Amino acid sequence: MEKLSYKLLELIALSLGLPAERFSDYFENDTSFVRLNHYPPCPSPELALGVGRHKDSGALTVLSQDDVGGLEVRRKDGEWTKVKPIPDSYIINVGDIIQVWSNDRYKSIEHRVKVNSERERFSIPFFFNPAHHVMVKPMEELIDEQSPAKYREYNWGKFFKTRKLSDFKKLDVENIQIHHFKISN
Ligand SMILES: *[C@@H]1O[C@H](CO)[C@@H](O)[C@H](O)[C@H]1NC(C)=O
Q: Domains of the chain: which residue ranges?
A: 2-134
Give every residue of the chain whose pLDDT is below 50, as ranges.
Answer: none
pLDDT of residue 16: 97
CA of 29 to the centre of ligand 1 (A): 6
Whole-number Å distance, alpha carbon 127 to ligand 1 midpoint, is: 20
Assigned CATH topology for domain 2-134: Jelly Rolls (2.60.120)
Give the Å distance between the CA of 104 and the centre of ligand 1.
30
Going by C-alpha positions, the residue among 125, 1, 119, 127 that lies closest to residue 69 is 119
Which residues line ligand 1 at a C-beta cut-off of 6 Å? 28-29, 131
For the CA of 133, the closest atom of ligand 1 is 14
Instruction: List the residue whose alpha carbon is closest to atom 3 of ligand 1.
Output: 29
148 φ, ψ (degrees, to nearest 5) = -70, 165
Question: What proportion of the chain, given as a percentage, has pLDDT over 70?
Answer: 94
C-alpha 28 to ligand 1 mean position (Å) = 7
| C-alpha distance across the termini of the chain, in Å | 38
Instruction: Give the position, in ligand 1's atom list, of the atom nearest the Cα of 28.
Output: 13
Q: How far is the CA of 131 from the centre of ligand 1 (A)?
A: 9
To test the pocket of ligand 1, the residue of 29, 133, 156 to mutate (highest count of ligand atoms within 8 Å of its CB) is 29
C-alpha 16/C-alpha 86 separation (Å) is: 28
Q: Which of 134, 148, 172 is nearest to 57 (CA)?
A: 134
Amino acid at 5: S
pLDDT, residue 166, reads 65
Do the Cβ atoms of 113 and 71 come closer than 8 Å?
A: yes
Looking at residue 185, its pLDDT comes to: 58
Determine if the pTM surpasses 0.85. Answer: yes
Quick: pLDDT tens for 95-145: 999 999 999 999 998 988 888 888 888 999 999 999 999 999 999 999 999
Question: Cβ of 144: how many Cβ atoms within 10 Å?
Answer: 9
Q: What's the Rg (C-alpha) of the chain?
A: 17
CA distances from 49 to 5, 41, 67, 176 (A): 28, 11, 18, 21
